[in-house]
Each structure stands twice: as C-alpha cells, then as structure tokens.
Amino acid sequence: MLGLMIPVGPDPDEPDRLVDTLESVRAYEPSQEIHLVVVDDCAQARRLPVDQREWASVDIVRTPLWERGTPDPYSAMVAGTLQGLVAAGRHRPELLLKLDTDALLIAPVADKLRTLLGDRSIGVVGSYTHTCTGAKRDWSGWRKRLLRARLPIAVIPGRRIPGLRSARDGRAVGELLSRARANGYVWGAHCLGGAYAVGPALLKHTDLLDWRPWVRTGLGEDVVVGLLATVAGLRIEGSVGPGEAFGLAWQNLPLPPEQLLSNRYSVVHSVRDQQYGAETELRSFFRARRVAGGR
C-alpha cells in the first residue's frame, strides 16, 4: 500500500496539471493500492478533478492557514505539507511519494522506493546531495533563515518590515534545531521539493509534524521536512543515478526529455515552460510515450 501526496496551488491551470500528473502515476503503477492525499492550497473553495474510484482512498486537505487569512507562500506550503503527511500517515502506507503538479512519472517507481525505504533508518529519499546531472546541491543559503526562525520575529521574503511571531513558536523551532544538530544535522540539508519520498519511520512521528512553529519563518517545506527527519534520528538519502528514481531540477528539466527516458528515471521535474519546450509540448511528449508503451 502506497501513499501519494500532491499539493495543488491557486493558479487556474493547477487542476489540469493535477489530472495529468495523476494519470502518469496510474499509467506506471496500475496495480498499486494507493491512498491519495491532495493538498488544496487555494483561498477559495473549489472542486478538484479527482476520480475517487481510482484510488484506495482520497483525502482532500485544505492548507490550514487559509482559515487565518492570506499566508505568505512559504508558510502555506509548509502548513499544507505537514498536514498532508499527517493525513497520509493515518493509512500507514509502506511509503509516501510527494509530487508537485509539475512533476510526472515516466517509469515505474514503487519498487525502487520500496528497496530503499525498506531500511527503516531512512526518513526521506530524493534528489539530496547531488542532482541527476552530478551537480552538487548547495543548502548553505538556508542557514541564516533557520537561525532566524528561533526568534519571535518574522523575516518573510519580499516584506520590508519584519512581523511578529510568538516566543513559543521561536522556542519550539530552537528546540528542534538543537535536537537535529545533536543528530548531526547539516544546515539546510533536504531533498529537492519537486518530488521526494517519505518513509513510514517519519510518518509515524506525528508529534514532529506540527506546522504552527514554522509560520512566517521563510523556510521551504522541503527544508522543514529534511530537518524533521533528522530530529527523528533518520537519514536522508539520494536516488539520482541512471535507473534510479529521481531526475529533477528546481526549475526546468535537468536533462533533455529523451535522455531522462533513456537513463530510466522514474520521476521528473519540472515540466513547466523551459528550454526543452513549452509545458504543453513536454506533457504531450511524455503522455505519448506512456500510451505508446501500452500503459
């Protein structure tokens, strides 16, 4: 039994992206029992195009901050992700695959991830220390924001005047950072947020998956998930070699589409407009390949 979590942003094109991403999952994992969690990150109520008959269960999780007014994007992503992890954990999946709507499956992935996350000392698997191109990832820019997150002030990107946070939230973050550092945490260590997998050993730590201390810290959801995995005493691992799971870049695709296929990656990100083509062209390219493959 697998978990699948997909956050859906407020852009009007997001529901269509959701449909195509879900179709790619079903194309390559047709026999899997999958519990789907959709994180609806939109201020207005809406009906998302999810056919509940295709999934073992469907949870629609609304980003909790929308009940408190308009959040900054970072806070919204952290809150929605952690709420989604809690919802997924209730079904006790073997593992949870998190995909953004601009990620796609281009080959089966479940068995690859089972092999890795069968090791219960691993909390997160993705594009970790390196990308699939061999480029080393740099997390150092997050250190300052992590240290600021201990304080009762908010430093939100794009805001000139810092806002206030509670002293309690600052203390909670400071305690988590101390616990992570005691477990060998490297400042900012995380898997690239476009797609990654979370193991059951982290999902069971619901005590750590509280979104409230992270509001208005300016931290990305992927950074927070990496930190919490280390707090739980779990390892983060990469899976980016040819034939492995993740062919990702922060923006654009890391390699030409044909090369991602020939290198036998399972998950790619991002298929938005880029040097390899417009989003519609890229989605059509990968859709044709999965149909041509008899899936």
CA distances from 157 to 71, 77, 148, 163, 218 (A): 12, 14, 13, 12, 6
In 3-state terms the chain splits into helix, strand, coil percentages (rounded to 5) of: 40, 20, 45
Q: DSSP 3-state assignment of 269?
A: strand
The phi and psi torsions of 123 (rounded to 5 degrees) equal: -100, -40
CA–CA distance, 121 with 204 (Å, rounded to integer): 13
Give tens-digit pLDDT for 173-185.
999 999 999 999 9
List Cβ neighbours of 65 (8 Å cut-off, separation of 6 or more): 71, 75, 76, 79, 215
State the pTM of this model.
Answer: 0.94
41-51 pLDDT, tens per residue?
Answer: 888 888 999 99
Mean pLDDT of 98-125: 96
What confidence score (pLDDT) does residue 67 get? 66
Confidence of residue 294 (pLDDT cuts 50, 70, 90): very low
Q: What is the pLDDT of residue 73?
A: 79
Mean pLDDT of 85-111: 97
Residue 102 pLDDT > 90: yes
Give residue 231's pLDDT: 98
Pick the CATH number of 2-292 from 3.90.1150.10, 3.40.1260.10, 3.90.550.10, 3.40.50.970: 3.90.550.10
Q: What is the DSSP string of 133-154?
A: TSPBP--GGGHHHHHHTTSSEE
Does position 163 have pLDDT exceeding 80, yes or no?
Answer: no
pLDDT score for 25: 97
CA distance 239 to 107: 14
Is the distance from CB of 105 to CB of 32 less than 8 angstroms?
Answer: no
Determine the pLDDT at residue 245. Answer: 98
- Give 162's contacts (C-beta < 8 A, 6+ positions apart): 153, 154, 155, 156
Q: Which pLDDT band holds residue 72 (cuts at 50, 70, 90)?
A: confident
Q: Residue 162 pLDDT more than 80? A: no
Look at residue 295 in the predicted model and tell me its pLDDT: 44
- The rounded mean pLDDT for the chain is 92
pLDDT confidence of residue 121: 96
Percent of the chain with pLDDT over 70: 93
In the predicted structure, residue 157 carries a pLDDT above the cut 90: no
pLDDT of residue 291: 77
pLDDT in tens, 266-292: 999 999 999 999 999 999 999 999 976
Domains of the chain, residue spans: 2-292
Residue pLDDT, tens place only, 126-141: 999 999 999 999 999 9
| CB-CB contact of 132 with 247 (8 Å) | yes
What the block records as the tokens of 27 is: 């194309």
